[in-house]
Amino acid sequence: MSGRRIVKTAHNGKRRSNGSGRRTSTRERSDTFFRLLVILSIFALCFFGIRNNWPATTSVEVQGTVVLSEREVVELAALEDYTDLWAISVPVEKIADSLMGHSLIEHAIVEIAGLTSIRIEITERKPIASLEYRECHLTFDQYGALVDIIGNAETCIYPGVRGIPPGLLYFQGERLYETGDAWDVGSGDIPRAEIETQFQRVIHLRYMLDHQSASDVPDPNVITLDGAGNISVKYENTPLIVLGKFHSPGLQFRMMIASLENEFLCDPERVMDIDLSSEKFPCYHVYEDYITPQERRQIEQWREEALLAEADETESDNDTAPSIDETVNVSDPVGYNPDIFDLANSVN
């Protein structure tokens, strides 16, 4: 009886072994079929993608535009050259570099936003002033780089600057005079290095005007750099303000703002100009018919002091007393005072 059981047991084991083998073979066939199906699906997808240009770049998001339009940015990026590529294959750094080569674009970031989409974020250059040159306006930013060229037929909304040689403007990292002889760099009376320094001071003055806290002070009509390298500022219905070499920008700028806030000094019918070129000895020129008695007495006093100082041969070379030539302009009467604001307030 025990032998029967043994045979029966062996027979049952054989049956279980055959069943397991059949299941393994079925599973292997299923896995093979699944792999084949996946491979065929991939081939079909690739074939469909190639025939239908998918998943190529189909969406472009542009951010940060002010002057440029989104369409112009896309055209500048030359994305039509990459329409047959997946977005992940587009050379974003190369596109960003090409965008920053444009004079209106200061910085550009190109990112992959999805399998078929790209995001472009730009920072446009902000003009701070426009240089009047021939029949157009050359706008430039805080770095002295050329931003745009505006014809006279168009409206230029940026403050004007005169007397700056256009060759000093930067374009694609080089000054314009370095790119060709056609660009003016001055008459040669002033060394080029000094002109460049004065240009930077004009930019600094423009920056201070844009960030000054006196909200009631309007923007000047024009800033001028004359042939001697002196800077002057002209506001509407206000005497010309002379800043000279602008060696002490902080102090001279505060004096200019104080002048603009003084109605007595800003009367263009009475005052010819306000000379702030010397931070120690500011003065203002007055038309002779409008000189007040107090100003005449003050002028005579300064004349006498100047003559005494000039006659005193023992005076040291460091004496800061002004000479008569510095004090009084014979042809154009001068109101002069180390503190012109006190004098103006007292007369007013």
What percent of the chain clears pLDDT 70, i.e. is strictly above it? 70
pLDDT tens by residue, 180-234? 766 766 655 678 888 889 999 999 999 999 888 766 778 888 999 998 899 999 9
pLDDT tens, residue by residue, 317-345: 555 544 433 333 333 334 444 445 444 44
SS3 label, residue 192: helix
Question: How far apart are alpha carbons 289 and 171 in whole angstroms?
Answer: 50
Q: State residue 9's pLDDT score.
A: 46
Q: Higher-confidence residue: 88 or 22?
A: 88
How many alpha carbons lie under 13 Å from residue 179 in its C-beta half-sphere? Answer: 12
Query: What amino acid occupies position 146?
Result: L
* % residues pLDDT > 90 (the chain): 16
Least confident of 57-71, 182-196, 236-250: 182-196
103 pLDDT higher than 80: no
Which of helix, strand or coil describes residue 207? helix
What is the arithmetic mean of pLDDT over 101-122? Answer: 83
pLDDT-derived band at 177 (thresholds 50, 70, 90) equals confident
**How far is the C-alpha of 167 from the C-alpha of 164, rounded, in Å?**
8
Amino acid identity at 302:
W
pLDDT digits (tens, 9 = 90+) for 281-331: 888 888 888 888 888 888 788 778 778 877 775 455 555 544 433 333 333
**What distance in Å separates the CA atoms of residue 162 and residue 134, rounded to the nearest whole number?**
11
CB 77 within 8 A of CB 95: yes
pLDDT for 140: 92
Per-residue model confidence (pLDDT) at position 332: 38
Digit-coded pLDDT (tens) for 11-63: 454 445 455 555 566 666 677 777 777 787 776 665 555 544 555 666 788 88
- Backbone φ and ψ of 169, nearest 5°: -70, 145
Output the pTM of the full model: 0.64
Cα torsion angle, 185, 234, 289, 348, sign? negative
Dist. CA 329–CA 302, nearest whole Å: 12
DSSP string, 328-340: --SSS-EEE-TTH
Quick one: tokens of 65? 């535009």
Mean pLDDT of the chain: 76
Domains and CATH numbers, the chain: 59-124 (3.10.20.310)
3-state SS class at 214: coil
What are the C-alpha distances in Å from 152 to residues 130, 140, 142, 223?
Answer: 12, 16, 23, 19
Other CB atoms closer than 10 Å to residue 200's CB: what's the count? Answer: 14
Confidence tier at 173 by pLDDT (50, 70, 90): confident
How far is it, in rounded angstroms, from Cα 139 to Cα 136? 10
Q: Give the pLDDT score at 327.
A: 35
CB-based contacts of 329, cutoff 8 Å, min separation 6: 285
Instruction: Say if CB 126 and CB 173 are below 8 A apart.
Output: no
Q: What are phi and psi of 290, to 5 degrees?
A: -110, 5
pLDDT at 277: 92
Residue owning tokens 């002209």? 234
Class of residue 308 by CB neighbours under 10 A (exposed 0-12, middle 13-18, buried 19+): exposed
Cβ proximity of 276 and 244 under 8 Å: yes
Q: Tell the residue number behind the tokens 């007393």, with chain if given.
A: 321
Q: Provide the 3-class DSSP secondary structure of residue 161.
A: strand
pLDDT at 48: 53
The pLDDT, as a whole number, for residue 239 is 93
